[in-house]
Amino acid sequence: MHIYLPIAEVSVNAFLLFGLGGMVGVLSGMFGVGGGFLMTPLLFFIGIPPAVAVATEANQIVASSFSGVLAHFRRKTVDLKMGTVLLIGGLAGAALGVVVFNYLKSLGQVDLLVKLCYVVFLGIIGSLMFIESLNAIRKSRKAGAPPPKRRQRGWIHAMPFKMRFRTSGLYISVIPPVIVGLFVGVLSAIMGVGGGFIMVPAMIYLLGMPTKVVVGTSLFQIIFVTAFTTMLHATTNYTVDVVLAVLLLVGGVVGAQIGTVIGSRMPAEQLRVLLAALVLAVCGKLALDLLLQPSELYSLGNAGGH
Amino acid sequence: MLRLIFLLCLVCWPAYAAEEQVVLGLSQDRVSITANFDGSEILIFGAVKREAPIPEGPPLEVIVSVVGPSEPVTVRRKEKRFGIWVNTDSLVVDLAPSFYAVATSAPFNEVLTHTEDLRYKVSIERAIRSVGADMSIQGAQDFAEAVIRIREDEGLYSIRENTVAVDEQTLFRTSIDMPSDLTEGDYTARIFLTRGGMVVSTFETSIDVRKVGLERILYNMSREQPIWYGLMSLAIAIAAGWGASTAFRLLREN
């Protein structure tokens, strides 16, 4: 069954989109990630224009994060104060990201920018995760793992504008969270991702937040940043395709619940190795596209707007 | 010899063109892009109306072309820079139709001479215009050729020789496939009658390609009320997220 997407102006198989949404949903449920970093490249591969893919994916992430954050609110694992500070940085970052995005779009370099961002960040995160989880597996085989060191007191604690974050049990400067939020906001606008895969490690290792509030807080921040990104793309580029978003949502929502069940039955370290391998595979495919000579050297674009 | 001169006179004589006229029928003069639009086939058929008997000489040939709305297109070329492939040169092709299909009743260079093609711009190469191309870019011609090549691969441009059936030099019919990735706008169907490579009569009619229903509403809304469109997208997303979360919580509790 083919569906004509009114904004993307391409006709795609609806079941393919359900399938993609479901597959990424399963993965996001299994690994506790938003899945935007997988879905956006997959949309490129099936022929959705990159600008539409990025903007629509932001809209879809609003839905999946909202669904996720409700569970965290019930468990009271959302640090609203920290979330708000991250959000301030995030909104500024998203605005900046959309400006950069539109500027590069006018230069015809937006595909390159998006793909480069993906290769760099997926490469870094994938390798780190891979090495770390291999080490964890090795350690757990040797003996009971030693308690992880946390909260090193360093330069982060020497910064001014300190604030008390009761839920996280932290007393730190607001500058690092604002910068983390800003950075993730820029990425969200350029890459069409929530940025959870960068924000979660940053919150644990950089800000020293307790692991149990990290996911809920990042989801809280992601909802607002991606909602803002969606609005910016919808009003400046007209590239949000609501039909595409709905099709992806349906598959994604069901897949996420299935994934959660699978995830709870698999050991965490092996799960992380799998996720790392997946991230590296997507990264490798995108890197090959940039490195190998494309079969078609020319590409077409709209001149002077639509 | 005398006959040949007579024939030449006939060809050059302007009134000759009016002697054979096209009476055209279309299976549809409107293509509606609905949510489940999956391409369309338009049947184009017609007859040649003439007051006099069929002229002697080369047989009547028919060319049917369907042209989509023209728009300027930016063509970009990739080059290897710092080890990766990057868009470098770009060129604007002033007018390139979004869709172009030509059907002929015989091989193209038999039904139309080169000069007539130049005059009526029938072949794909002639339909694309890139005047005022930036001559500082090497191989500006390559850019126009790239447009044709890419759109031919996408099925948007095609030349289909020998696909117009002509009966008794009077009746003709053909069908034009239109792919699912159509741009909306006013499409033009042009019919050329030729003899010995010279155009003797032309006829033009328009085909309306429009998004309808939900597609139309959403597209217009995204352009005219982008803020409301964005808010609507967010509302749908939040409702779906909330709905999914609640539905699965209820399922688990039962």
The span from the CA of B18 to the CA of B196, in Å, is 17
Angle between helices A36-45 and A268-291 (to 10 degrees): 40
pLDDT for position B136: 57
CB pair distance less than 8 Å for A242 and B218: yes
Q: Select from B43, B48, B72 the least CA-distant residue to A306.
A: B72
**B246: closest CA of chain A, how far (Å):** 8
Instruction: Mark B208-244 as b/e (b = at least 16 C-beta within 10 Å).
Output: ebebeeebbebbeebeeebeebbebbbebbbebbeeb
Q: What band does A40 get if pLDDT is binned at 50, 70 and 90?
A: confident
| Whole-number Cα distances in Å, B149 to A94, A115, A155 | 38, 25, 58
**A152: closest CA of chain B, how far (Å):** 37
DSSP assignment string, A236-260: HT----HHHHHHHHHHHHHHHHHHH
Domain count along chain A: 1
The span from the CA of A113 to the CA of A98, in Å, is 12
Residue A306 lies in a domain: no
Please report, rounded to a whole number, the percentage of residues in chain B having pLDDT higher than 90: 0
pTM of the shown model: 0.74
CB pair distance less than 8 Å for B244 and A67: yes
**Lowest-pLDDT range of A111-125, B17-31, B201-215:** B17-31
Q: Which of B90, B227, B245, B249 to mutate to test the interface with A (most CBs of A within 10 A)?
A: B245
Higher pLDDT, B56 or B139: B56
Look up the ipTM and state it: 0.76
Mean of pLDDT values over A220-246:
86
Q: Which of A62, A98, A298 to mutate to test the interface with B (most CBs of B within 10 A)?
A: A298
Please report, rounded to a whole number, the percentage of residues in chain B having pLDDT higher than 70: 88
Domain spanning B12-211 has what CATH number? 2.60.40.3880
Residue B149 has pLDDT above 70, yes or no: yes
Domain extent at residue A135: 2-142+151-291
pLDDT for position B62: 87
Give the start-to-end residue ranges of the domains of chain B.
12-211, 212-254
The span from the CA of A128 to the CA of A136, in Å, is 12
The span from the CA of A139 to the CA of A134, in Å, is 9
B241 touches A: beta carbon within 8 Å: yes
**How many beta carbons lie within 10 A of that of residue A168, not counting itself?**
20
CB pair distance less than 8 Å for A60 and B211: no
Residue B155 has pLDDT above 70, yes or no: yes
Residue B68 has pLDDT above 80, yes or no: yes
Residue A299 lies in a domain: no
pLDDT for position A152: 52
Q: Which of A57, A110, A261, A299 to mutate to test the interface with B (most CBs of B within 10 A)?
A: A299
Q: What digits encode the pLDDT tens for the residues A154-171?
A: 566 666 667 777 777 777
Are B101 and B63 contacting, i.e. CB atoms less than 8 angstroms apart? no
**B210: closest CA of chain A, how far (Å):** 11
Q: Select from B37, B46, B17, B18 the least CA-distant residue to B189.
A: B46
Cross-strand pairs, A11:
A4
DSSP assignment string, A165-218: ETTTTEEEESHHHHHHHHHHHHHHHHH----HHHHHHIIIIIS---HHHHHHHH
Q: What digits encode the pLDDT tens for the residues A187-215?
A: 888 877 777 777 877 787 777 777 777 87
